[in-house]
Amino acid sequence: MDKLLYGVAYYDEYMPYERLDKDVQMMKACGINVVRIAESTWSTEEPQDGVFDFTHIDRVLNAMQKAGIHVIIGTPTYAVPTWMVKKHPEILAITPSGQNQYGARQNMDISNKDYRFYAERVIRKIMEHVKDNPAVIGYQVDNETKAYNTAGPNVQALFVNYMKAKYKTLDNINHIFGLDYWSNRINNWDDFPSMIGTINGSLAAEFAKFQRQLVTDYLAWQAAIVREYKRPDQFITQNFDLEWHGFSFGIQPDVDHFAAAKALDIAGIDIYHPSQDKLTGVEISFGGDVARSMKGGKNYLTIETEAQGFPQWVPYPGQLRLQAFSHLASGANMVSYWPWHSIHNSAETYWKGLLSHDFEPNPVYDEAKTIGKDFDRLSAKLINLKKKNDVAILFSNEALSGFKAFGFGWGVRTGYNDVLRQFYDGLYHMNVGCDFVDPTSKNIEDYKLLIVPLLYAAPDSLLQRLNAYVKNGGHIIYTFKSGFADENVKVRTTHQPGIINEACGIYYSQFTEPSNASLKVDNWNLKPEDKKLNTWMELITPTTAKVLAYYDHPVWGKYAAITQNNYGKGVATYIGAITTNAVTDKLIADEVKSVGLWGDDQQLAWPLVTKQGINQNGKAVHYYFNYSANESSITYPYSNGKELLSGQAISKGGNLKLEPWGVKVIEVN
């Protein structure tokens, strides 16, 4: 890309009165240079079976072309029209809760052959119609795609075929998944049961993997159709979303991010986050790091993020600017709000857009105008930021699914992403840049420090690879419940933590909940409340590892809680219990220092956030953010440069003042 994109989702179909020209005028005044259209309105584009009406697409394309505003066309396949369901009610997915009812989006079975027929037809009709329009710069396939728990008879039949191809015989399946238990053994392919009722966590995890493969194949299928029509100068993307905890939170359990992104030219991400006094920037950073890692470090598009959003998300003055530049600092080449205009009825009426319901300028719109001007003015210096990180978090959808089946026991709500985010947030707070890798990544060995949370299910080959990583000089931090089960979520029959005990220099065979137990550790300057444990503790015996912390408990006190082992040229740290942030932060900081990555940026800590990269002109760019309501100042530690937003020169050792919710961007000379 040669210009930063600043955009909005726009729905001419939803407008209560004619105002396209007025919207374009206001967009131009705001610096909006791209709109995303068409992905939500299949029933308008095909009001009856085989009857197509692209009036709204044409109106917007013509208006945007005249205004010099780019357009991203979305395939409208995530929300099906009424006539389709009337004609083919089986298109509505059957889930563990029964068959979906019409009304909500994403209620269909993405593997259904009739749905695929209509989806392909509307995609081809739209592509034939828009492909030559010069305003169109790219295409979004589907929208926040997942399998949506589809599990009806046709999906079960596809799963049986998948199992036949992968495991060949029922004897293999019965043995690998332990199906003799509770008489779950399958003795005839025709008797293969539905996965909706399975009590076998291994089989449930395999079905979850299969459902993720449905998503990967579906997006590749759509991308292949679009690729038949698109021009060489147009891109294909998708707006992946994340696990949702009232906002974007963690790795999406229902999508293999890296696998699904292979069919795309550029990764896209939807990032929504708390605001006002709860704005930390961590969700922006997390989502950006995941999206950038999907395509091996390439820049990405923030396809959706909030302008006003929910009532509790309306930003304080300055926060919209802070957020926008935070996306760029993680490597985004686009920031786009959902939506442009607030909607006046139906499900998302009070998820407000850049404009409120009166469509008039408001403080958020006025602040967006300053962002648009700065994006336009500084595009050449801020676009295509290249980032090089030496720390990565290894995540695994297989481990996530396996852990979901077994977790920490009955009634415990702590999940995979809660643990992963504890470590990610620690890195973020101390301004340590981070990438994500998964078990398929070829570049794991390139990192100096690898953090591996809850690697509950993993094949022998991955654990052996991680042992070799340490032996060859890598540093690794494991959490509890790692190495526990194989790739089929079958618990290993050796001492835990399985194969990685070689690098970790420990073993254990018992675990419990830390009732009245805490950490016993010297020289860490921890407060009593920092030593508390919750939910889970493994009773570790070191073999070659040194003990960093024992349990403080009259019975369990002889066991180690946290260990560290020199193995070959590297170091493996193992955390055997759920600790406080103070403890994990201490361990992270010590390891960052140990691998030589503690530098000038680590002299700052959240709410002062700094990120950096190399721009397309080969110059270093340093972002500084103040995620607080208090004015702050820092001593600029790098070579002389220019603060790009103000145009002022800045010298090494100079004072840099950050207003509340403020941002500074320095390009080194």
Q: What is the pLDDT of residue 470?
A: 98
Q: What is the pTM of this model?
A: 0.98
Contact between residue 588 and residue 426 where contact means Cβ atoms under 8 Å apart: yes
Distance CA 104, CA 352 (A): 19
Six-digit token string for 268: 């896209």
CB 635 within 8 A of CB 650: no
For 468-497, write each residue's pLDDT tens digit. 999 999 999 999 999 999 999 999 999 999
Angle between helices 282-294 and 416-429 (to 10 degrees): 100
Residue positions forming the annotated binding site for substrate: 105, 143, 313
Which stretches of 53-149 are assigned E, i.e. beta strand?
70-74, 94-95, 98-99, 136-140
Check whether 1 has a pLDDT greater than 90.
no
In the chain, where does the domain assigned CATH 2.60.40.1180 lie? Answer: 604-668
Alpha-carbon dihedral angle through residues 548, 410, 405, 156, given to the nearest 10 degrees: 180
The pair of structure tokens assigned to 443 is 């570049």
Neighbours of 150 (CB within 10 A): 22
pLDDT for the residue 274:
98
Q: For residue 547, how many C-alpha atoms fall within 13 Å in the half-sphere facing its CB? A: 18
CATH 3.20.20.80 domain locations along the chain: 1-32+234-384
- 208 in helix, strand or coil? helix
604-668 folds as Immunoglobulin-like (2.60.40)
Residues 44-100 have pLDDT tens digits of: 999 999 999 999 999 999 999 999 999 999 999 999 999 999 999 999 999 999 999
Confidence of residue 499 (pLDDT cuts 50, 70, 90): very high
User: Long-range contact list for 204-207, CB < 8 A, 24+ apart?
Assistant: 204/401, 204/405, 205/398, 205/401, 205/402, 205/404, 205/405, 205/457, 205/488, 205/489, 206/163, 206/177, 206/488, 207/151, 207/159
Q: Answer yes or no: is pLDDT of 267 > 90.
A: yes
- d(CA 610, CA 614) in angstroms, rounded, equals 14
**Any catalytic annotation for residue 538?**
no
pLDDT at 625: 98
Per-residue pLDDT band at 409 (split at 50, 70, 90): confident
| CATH T-level fold of 391-596 | Rossmann fold (3.40.50)
* Topology of the domain covering 1-32+234-384: TIM Barrel (3.20.20)
User: Taking all residues of the chain, what is their mean pLDDT, rounded to a whole number?
Assistant: 97
- The answer to whether the CB of 293 falls within 8 A of the CB of 299 is no
Looking at the DSSP bridge assignments, the partners of residue 140 are: 74, 237
Nearest to 308 by CA among 263, 340, 333: 340
Interatomic CA distance for residues 176 and 170, integer angstroms: 10
Nearest to 27 by CA among 53, 55, 66: 66
What confidence score (pLDDT) does residue 195 get? 97
Determine whether 83 is exposed, middle or buried from the number of CB atoms within 10 Å of its CB (0-12, 13-18, 19+).
middle
Distance, in Å, from the CA atom of 60 to the CA atom of 73, rounded to the nearest integer, reads: 11
144-174 pLDDT per residue, tens: 999 999 999 999 999 999 999 999 999 999 9
| Residue range(s) occupied by CATH 3.40.50.880 in the chain | 391-596
What pLDDT sits at residue 411? 83
Residues in the annotated binding site: 105, 143, 313
Beta strands in 382-499 (DSSP E): 391-394, 435-437, 449-452, 475-479
The answer on pLDDT for 182 being more than 90 is yes
pLDDT computed for residue 410 by the predictor: 82
Catalytic residue among 45, 46, 283, 304: 304
- Model confidence pLDDT, tens digit, residues 455-472: 999 999 999 999 999 999
89-103, 113-127, 397-411, 584-598: which range is least confident on average? 397-411
Residue 360 has pLDDT above 90, yes or no: yes
Is the pLDDT at 528 greater than 90, yes or no? yes
pLDDT tens-digit series, residues 3-51: 999 999 999 999 999 999 999 999 999 999 999 999 999 999 999 999 9
Per-residue confidence band for 631, with pLDDT thresholds at 50, 70 and 90: very high
Q: Which of 39, 45, 46, 144 is catalytic?
A: 144
Residue 144: active-site member: yes
